[in-house]
Amino acid sequence: MSQVTPSSAAEQAKPARRRFLGRAAAGAAALTAPMVSVAQSPIVLKMQGAWGAKDIFNEMAEEYVKRVNEMAGGRLRIDYLVAGAVVKPFEVMDATSKGVLDASHGVPVYWYGKSKVASLFGSGPINGCDAPQTLAWIYRGGGLELYNELLKKINLDVVGYFAMPMPTQPLGWFKKPIKDAKELQGLKYRTVGLAADLFQQMGARVTQLPGGEIIPALEKGVIDAFEFNNPTSDMRFGAQDVIKNYMMGSYHQAMEFFEIAFNRKKHDSLPKDLQAILRYAVEAASSSNWWTAMDNYSRDLQVLVDKHKVNVIRTPKGVFVEQLKAWDVLTKKLSDEDPFFKKVVESQLAWAKRVAYYMFVNEADYALGYEHVHKVKLPTA
């Protein structure tokens, strides 16, 4: 067996060392060489809202957009536009269906002229359920399937989702407080959707206008009174500068939601995981919108009272009673005229009979607790 001397071992190690250093140098060169592949550009969806630039609803739409864009990881981006950027507020659904827009953020009552059934998915007859319970009907009680059936019937080529169960909308702003439902007769009043039919049934002269046109119409005498949605939106419109009586509580729009719609061809062309992001971001935004609403609506109602000296009044019980009677007449009329309207109403009624019963039997008396803890007597109808 031959013996290896230290000098011969060193000589044998040189080729191996050269090979190692060569490979290391090549690896380092590869790491420092410029990348030849280019990151894929994101898919961009153009979404327009039905809301004026200052409306809090724009902030709520942007909460949805923010969640989609962050979850999509650069592969998908929604560019959000305010009302009027491409089409008028009442036209966003049509524009989305036709591909003029890729998506829209609005409410079904803005396109109920195509079918009064649309309003059932965003302000319909009172059945005992509030907005959160009605939103549960959409997602768990068969409402979404009926909505999709409606879209097919009237050739709207969209995929739609619903978010943000809105608090009851105020009766509205009046030059003189309404003490009796008879005082609505002949009143020039702004509302939208089936609420317009309801107030017409009660004798009002109704004009349907998008939010940004309300105050100019009030100042010009086109309308005498109006409702929009909530204290924050109303205050940002400047309602408190032209009228001082704000009446809270009503059955005309007691359960409404945002409708987030996508052009169907554009939606269905997306990879399944991106479609899932669009769908589940609706649920995330729904919670975020509610939290934003509770913070802003409650604070701004106090600002209206304390700073702007607005007279905040609970709607008299007699007005609620007459609204119920008017809903009875209107619902029967529309159900007799349209079997599909009747089908949707009956689905809602079946859901409400079960779900609302559970809530009424189970819920704590929060008003009693509020009065006890805060030592404040709440206004009554």
Q: Output the tens digit of pLDDT for each of the chain's 381 residues.
A: 444 444 444 444 455 445 544 554 444 444 454 544 445 799 999 999 999 999 999 999 999 999 999 999 999 999 999 999 999 999 999 999 999 999 999 999 999 999 999 999 988 999 999 999 999 999 999 999 999 999 999 999 999 999 999 999 999 999 999 999 999 999 999 999 999 999 999 999 999 988 889 999 999 999 999 999 999 999 999 999 999 999 999 999 999 999 999 999 999 999 999 999 999 999 999 999 999 999 999 999 999 999 999 999 999 999 999 999 999 999 999 999 999 999 999 999 999 999 999 999 999 999 999 999 999 999 887
For residues 94 and 112, what is the distance between their CA atoms, to the nearest angstrom? 12
CATH of domain 172-253+309-374: 3.40.190.10
Instruction: Note the CATH number of domain 43-165+256-295.
Output: 3.40.190.170
| Most distant CA pair in the chain, distance | 120
Given this chain, do its domains 43-165+256-295 and 172-253+309-374 carry the same CATH topology? yes
CA angle 42, 46, 47 (to 5 degrees): 130
Nearest of 6, 60, 5, 13 to residue 296 by alpha carbon: 60
Provide the residue ranges of all domains of the chain, joining segments of one domain with +: 43-165+256-295, 172-253+309-374
Sign (positive or negative) of CA dihedral 294, 296, 301, 306: positive
Rg (CA), the chain: 29
Tokens of 64: 């949805």
